[in-house]
């Protein structure tokens, strides 16, 4: 297992929460994570980027002001567009004032004034500002970072985040799931095991994740949420009420005045934030010499927002169900996002999960603090067993034909978890041999064996009908846990293996070099092995079919065509041209088409015999 080596004097590694609404950066001050303030004294940097008329890029609070004055030159919530194609974000784009550049096809390009930018470039401007803030506060160059991402981000979205970091001049050492970072901030990784729910209600999005803790490793069991639900909905509700009041009192519709609405929004947000701590709050707003004033009590506020809070509970229940756990099995609940300061939100979460949630840390900062903890571990500031970096060689299992199916690939960041589903190759098969191997070659014989065990007493189904789930989990100590489970019966078998021990760095490099040197030959061998597996399957199925009445009922010429196709496939079976073998498989498949249809019709008639429709 490799470790990150920063030399004798380790560099500062920061933790970054790259958020949809706001972003922030944190670092480890000795053993304590701390958020870094910006030039304006705020911890939070709004994730807003604007292109000034003079061509200067403006980020954060100054860009927020330009959103009012120059919405055509300002972009926000670019995180929603990261790693997604133009076809994926049509619904998102309807909600934004900025335009997508003409000619955008696969990659979204945002038009700001006379210039165009991709979402990673927009995110890079925010990251660059955070980097600048960190360097000013720490008085040192910052080039390495840990960045958080939503648990549901796919590979493309994660890669886009890494690209943004690289554009900003940051080496992204690790991407950490936001719920995992929140749990790290609370030190929940120190538990041996447990189940953690992370409820994240931010300004524009809501996420709920259920994590399973296993020896310091967090595995995401399930995630759910609503990408258009958050504190903004509460703000908009209060603004709508205020605008109706103002129109009634002043006889004027202020909704058509963008500056007035944005000013009113600030008054609404101030009142909302006060109601998290006080029994009542004053909502005051002045515009063109007139003043609007209204008192809102906590009781009224709770009644107004009950529907919004309730909208978060449905995804929570779905997530619990998808995770396969009960509420009673959830040991810890963590709150993330500024909107979780609202007392009604906290009481609703506590009632649903039947546990008092963690609220000691600032919910706006908890994800960045967790990222800083991970950054401290990677930089060596904190001593922890998570210094292990990547898997040096791929890990997989043997499949039909002696071929390796890789489940966790070389250089995967650990802790790592992955699973795949397989099936049986023989009718009535009761046992499945799980042969775990390590290496980069395509065939089992050329890789290093690690472990073998049997999954016994699976349902004896026809070949191809069973579903066997194989799951690999590498923990922080480099120990691989392999679990095989019969999806129908739930029976499972698992074992721990130590895949990284016993190999020197030189041996790892030698194995990797061998995989490169033999890549072409290995690929050819794999193609042959796979096509022979397919040939075995169709030959066995054809032989079985030739014993049936459906075959006897075929015209003589069709039976002769099947026999000819079988013989031609057998003649080429041991040859070295996988394309020729594949072509003969397709010819046999075509020759048996009528036979397969007749057998299917006979099976359906048998199943419906005596049944009235």
Which amino acids are annotated catalytic? 17, 79, 178, 200
Q: What phi and psi values does residue 232 have, to the nearest 5 degrees?
A: -60, -35
Cβ atoms 148, 175 nearer than 8 A: yes
- 3-state SS track over 137-168: HHCCCCCEEEEEECCCCCHHHHHHHHHHHHHC
DSSP for 289-352?
TEEEEEEEEHHHHHHHHHHHHHHHHHHHHHHHHHHT--GGG--EEEEESGGGGSHHHHHHHHHH
Pairing of strands 171-177, 144-149: parallel
Helix axes 556-572, 593-608, angle to 10 degrees: 120
Residue with tokens 């003589």: 556
Closest to 107 in 3D by CA, of 98, 97, 117, 115: 117
d(CA 319, CA 152): 12
Judged by phi (left if over 0) then psi (alpha if -120 to 50, else beta), residue 383 lies in: beta
Cβ atoms 84, 154 nearer than 8 A: no
Cα–Cα distance list, 165 to 16, 19, 63, 369 (Å): 10, 14, 20, 18
Cβ atoms 390, 412 nearer than 8 A: yes
Tokens of 68: 């009012």
d(CA 217, CA 56): 44
d(CA 163, CA 167): 6
Closest to 183 in 3D by CA, of 377, 383, 373, 414: 373
Tokens of 70: 């120059």
Closest to 210 in 3D by CA, of 174, 180, 175, 176: 180
Task: Count CA atoms within 13 Å of residue 292 on its CB side.
Answer: 25
Residue with tokens 């229940």: 317
Give burial (CB, 10 Å; 0-12/13-18/19+) of 493. Answer: middle
Which strand ranges, in their side-by-side order, compose the sheet holding 48-51?
57-59, 48-51, 74-76
Q: How many CB atoms lie within 10 A of CB 301?
A: 22
Cα–Cα distance list, 192 to 189, 217, 475, 497 (Å): 8, 9, 12, 19
- 3-state SS track over 306-317: HHHHHHHHHHHH
Residue with tokens 């396969």: 324
* DSSP3 helix / strand / coil % (the chain, rounded to 5): 45, 25, 30
DSSP for 12-34?
PEEEEE--SSEEEEEEEETTEEE
d(CA 578, CA 523): 11
């Amino acid at each position: 297992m490799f470790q990150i080596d920063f030399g004798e004097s380790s560099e500062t590694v920061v933790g970054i929460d790259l958020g949809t609404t706001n972003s922030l950066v944190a670092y480890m001050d000795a053993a304590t994570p701390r958020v870094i303030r910006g030039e304006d004294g705020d911890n939070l940097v709004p994730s807003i980027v604007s292109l000034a008329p003079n061509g200067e890029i403006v980020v954060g609070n100054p860009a927020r002001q330009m959103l009012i004055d120059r919405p055509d030159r300002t972009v926000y919530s670019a995180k929603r567009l990261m790693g997604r194609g133009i076809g994926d974000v049509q619904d998102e784009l309807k909600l934004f004032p900025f335009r997508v550049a003409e000619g955008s096809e696969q990659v979204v390009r945002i038009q700001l004034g006379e210039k165009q930018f991709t979402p990673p470039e927009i995110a890079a401007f925010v990251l660059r500002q955070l980097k600048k803030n960190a360097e000013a506060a720490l008085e040192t160059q910052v080039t390495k970072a840990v960045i958080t991402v939503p648990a549901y981000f796919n590979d493309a979205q994660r890669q886009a985040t890494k690209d943004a970091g690289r554009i900003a001049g940051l080496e992204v050492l690790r991407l950490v799931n936001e719920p995992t970072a929140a749990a790290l901030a609370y030190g929940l990784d120190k538990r041996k095991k447990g189940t953690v729910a992370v409820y994240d209600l931010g300004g524009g999005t809501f996420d709920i994740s259920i994590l399973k803790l296993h020896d310091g490793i967090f595995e995401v069991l399930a995630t759910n949420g609503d990408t258009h639900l958050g504190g903004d909905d509460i703000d908009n509700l209060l603004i709508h009420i205020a605008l109706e009041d103002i129109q009634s009192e002043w006889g004027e519709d202020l909704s058509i005045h963008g500056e007035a609405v944005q000013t009113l929004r600030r008054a609404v947000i101030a009142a909302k934030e006060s109601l998290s701590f006080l029994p009542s709050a004053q909502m005051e707003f002045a515009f063109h010499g007139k003043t609007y004033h209204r008192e809102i009590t906590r009781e009224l506020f709770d009644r107004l927002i009950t529907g919004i809070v309730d909208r978060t509970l449905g995804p929570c229940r779905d997530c619990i169900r998808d995770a396969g756990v009960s509420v009673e099995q959830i040991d810890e609940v963590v709150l993330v996002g500024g909107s979780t300061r609202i007392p009604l939100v906290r009481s609703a979460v506590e009632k649903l999960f039947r546990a008092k949630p963690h609220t000691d840390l600032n919910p706006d900062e908890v994800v960045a603090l967790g990222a800083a903890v991970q950054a401290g571990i990677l930089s060596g500031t904190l001593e922890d067993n998570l210094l292990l970096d990547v898997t040096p060689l791929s890990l997989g299992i043997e499949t039909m034909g002696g071929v390796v199916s890789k489940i966790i690939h070389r250089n995967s960041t650990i802790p790592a978890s992955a699973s795949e589903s397989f099936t049986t190759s023989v009718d009535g098969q009761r046992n499945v041999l799980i042969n775990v191997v390590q290496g980069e070659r395509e065939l089992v014989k050329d890789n290093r064996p690690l472990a073998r065990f049997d999954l016994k007493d699976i349902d004896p189904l026809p070949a191809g009908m069973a579903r066997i789930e194989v799951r690999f989990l590498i923990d922080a100590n480099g120990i691989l846990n392999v679990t095989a489970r019969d999806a129908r019966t739930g029976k499972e078998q698992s074992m721990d293996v130590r895949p990284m021990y016993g190999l020197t760095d030189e041996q790892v490099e030698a194995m990797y070099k061998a995989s490169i040197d033999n890549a072409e030959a290995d690929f050819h061998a794999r193609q042959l092995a796979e096509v022979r597996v397919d040939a075995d399957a169709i030959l066995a199925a054809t032989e079985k079919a030739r014993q049936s009445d459906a075959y006897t009922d075929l015209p003589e010429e069709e039976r002769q065509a099947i026999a000819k196709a079988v013989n031609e496939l057998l003649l080429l079976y041991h040859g070295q041209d996988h394309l020729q073998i594949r072509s003969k498989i397709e010819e046999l498949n075509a020759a048996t088409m009528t036979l397969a249809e007749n057998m299917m019709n006979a099976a359906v008639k048998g199943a419906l015999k005596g049944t009235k429709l």
